[in-house]
Structure 1
Amino acid sequence: MLRITMFSHADKVKGQGVGSAYLELIKMLQDKFSKEFLLRVNSWKKSDISHYHTVNFSYYLSTFFTRKRGVRIGYVHFLPETLEGSIELYQPFQKIFNWYLLDFYRRMDELVVVNPSFIPALLRAGCQKDKITYIPNFVSQKEFYEKNATEKQLIREKLGYEETDFVILGVGQIQKRKGLDDFIQLAKDNPSWKFIWAGGFSFGKITDGYSEYEKIYKNPPKNLTFPGIVDRDTLVDYYNIANIFLLPSYNELFPMSILEAFNCGTPVMVRELDLYQSVIKDFYIGCQDKEEMQDKLTALQSSSNDLQTWQKASRQAAQKYSEDAVAKLWFDYYTKTYQKYRS
């Protein structure tokens, strides 16, 4: 039995994608491979594999004890450039953290990226290409799934929406990087549509743009709702009543929210980013800016056929990134990586 220790504090902060990805992986490994893997969390006992999900300083120090830690695997959920617009740090501290983050990755024996577009930046930082593996995120179809028409209508009634309302949903932390300015402006420009942003200030006052967004959060336009950080069993309801899931982010990794929307059969619209071409090409509606979002939302609002086409695309994407498909990737990766370093 392979001894795998997961090092993570990702679940300590609610409403962030890294935490969701970590919890999904833990649950999947426990459900599917309990006989093959002995899984521990934040344990200092000797391991065959140590898998680092977050970059806490105590974890960094542990990487120097190579015999106890076994094969050190780093999970690359973010890079210095992807943190821009997320948190606001005093510039000298930001430079120190950027160096520390990349050095953390350099200390790993192997790295797993959630998006292949990260690889060039890691190579520039001094990481070796043959030690970097791409494994996509996934979302459990037991927790995020498409409900039937009757259930969707009942949820709309419960949440205060009419059957005819055109509902646009955004999910994620409230921060500048997520493109909140465009989402809010679209709400202001289209008072007859209903907008929902599910998420909150996961990092409190160091969130980039905190003071500006706090005012809007407390006093939004009438057609824009901020339900805050929503539990997963309620979040699935929001995806199911939405006509469109809109993520106008300027910077992303491999958003769990997109996978959640796919699982619920919700059409996905995003700001066009190069990284999406690597992982979800043909499954989403891409827009260059707010004006194009406006045009495409207007067209979709008046065309049920187009909405159904993108619903089908989301269902196809959900199968591609299903739990079973990604589970096999992780099983093969752990077993082969251990054998690679065993000698």
Structure 2
Amino acid sequence: MIKITMYSSADKVAGQGVGSAYAELMTLLKDRFASQFDIQINEFSRQNDISHYHTIDPRFFVSTFSKKRGQKIGYVHFLPETMEGSLKIPQPFRGLFYRYLIAFYKRMDHLVVVNPTFIPKLVAYGIPQERVTYIPNFVDDQRFYPVSAAKRWELYRRWKLDPERFTVVGSGQIQERKGVFDFIKLAKQNPHFQFIWAGGFSFGRITDGYQELKKVVANPPANLLFPGIVTRDQIAELNNIADLFLLPSYNELFPMSVLEAFSCGTPVMLRDLDLYHSIIGGYYQPAKDVDQMQAELVRIAQDPVALADLKQKSLTAAQRYSKDHLANEWYHFYRTQTGRE
């Protein structure tokens, strides 16, 4: 049996994708490989075969110098450039934090990235390519799945929404990087549609754009609902209510919110970022900016065939990033890291 200790504080901050990815992996490993992997959480005293670091806490960094850690695996959820537009960290603290982040990654024996486009960026920071492996995120299809028409109508009543109005849902932290200002603009331009953004200010006042966004959240347009940070089960409900999932982010790695929408069979529109092309290209409606989002939104809302096509693409993407497929990848990865394969 392989002894693995997970080091994570991802569940301490609600409403962030890192926490969702961590929760999905923990559930998967415990359900599928309880007899192959002995998994503990934040245990510093035992001798590990693998220490898997999900967050970059200073106490975790200190722990990497212990001989008990075994093979040190780091999960790369962000890089310095992906932090821009997320948190407002003044200089010189921002530069110090970025240097710490890369130093943390360099302490690892191996890194796992959720998007292959980040491999050359890590190499540019001085990390050998052979020490980096790409394993995409995934979601639990027992929690995120398409519901029946009758259940969908029930969810509309539960959320006090009009089932006759075209419904657009986005989710994630409320921050500038997520393109929330564009989401708000689209809601104002389409008063006949209803818009919902599920998420909140997970990092409070240090969130980039906090003051201006806080004003809109407190007094949104009549057709825009901000329910705040919600549970993952509620995210599944909103994805099933949605006629379209829209994420206008300017920067991402591999957003869990998109995988959750795919798994529910929800049609997806995204800002067409280059980093999406290698992982989910062809499965979503691309839009280069808010004006194109507006044009595509109007077109799709009036075209049931286009909407059905996008729905089928989401279901196909969900199969590609299924829990069964990724379970095998993680199983073989851990065994390879300990020399069992």
Q: TM-score scaled by structure 2?
A: 0.98
Give every structure 1 segment of 4 or more consecutive aligned residues whose post-TM-superposition deviation is greater than 4 Å: none
- Distance in 2 separating the partners of 1:6 and 1:316: 31
- Distance in 2 separating the partners of 1:273 and 1:254: 11
Describe the superposition over 1:141-165 as per-residue Cα deviations: whole angstroms up to 9, x where unpaired: 1111110111111111222222221
> 1:276 offset after TM fit, Å?
0.3
Residue 260 of structure 2 is matched in structure 1 by: 260
Residue 62 of structure 1 is matched in structure 2 by: 63
Describe the superposition over 1:200-244 as per-residue Cα deviations: whole angstroms up to 9, x where unpaired: 000011000111111111100000000000111221110001000
Residue 46 of structure 1 is matched in structure 2 by: 47
- Distance in 1 separating the partners of 2:111 and 2:295: 40
- Distance in 2 separating the partners of 1:205 and 1:143: 32
Residue 193 of structure 1 is matched in structure 2 by: 193
Query: What pairs with 1:173-192 in structure 2 (closer than 5 Å)?
Result: 173-192=173-192
SS, match of residue 106 in structure 1 = helix
- Distance in 1 separating the partners of 2:88 and 2:256: 23
Residue 250 of structure 1 is matched in structure 2 by: 250
Residue 12 of structure 2 is matched in structure 1 by: 12
Query: What pairs with 1:1-343 in structure 2 (closer than 5 Å)?
Result: 1-44=1-44, 45-65=46-66, 67-339=67-339
Unaligned stretches of 5+ in structure 1? none
- Distance in 2 separating the partners of 1:155 and 1:68: 49
In the alignment, residue 69 of structure 1 is paired with which amino acid? R
Q: What's the Cα RMSD here? A: 0.9
SS, match of residue 39 in structure 1 = strand
Q: TM-score scaled by structure 1?
A: 0.98
SS, match of residue 200 in structure 1 = coil
- Distance in 2 separating the partners of 1:237 and 1:111: 34
SS, match of residue 96 in structure 1 = helix
In the alignment, residue 54 of structure 1 is paired with which amino acid? T
In the alignment, residue 188 of structure 2 is paired with which amino acid? K
Using the aligned pairs only, state the percent identity: 52
- Distance in 1 separating the partners of 2:50 and 2:337: 9
- Distance in 1 separating the partners of 2:206 and 2:163: 39
SS, match of residue 339 in structure 2 = helix
Count residues with an aligned counterpart. 340
SS, match of residue 3 in structure 1 = strand
Describe the superposition over 1:263-295 as per-residue Cα deviations: whole angstroms up to 9, x where unpaired: 100011000111101110110111100010001
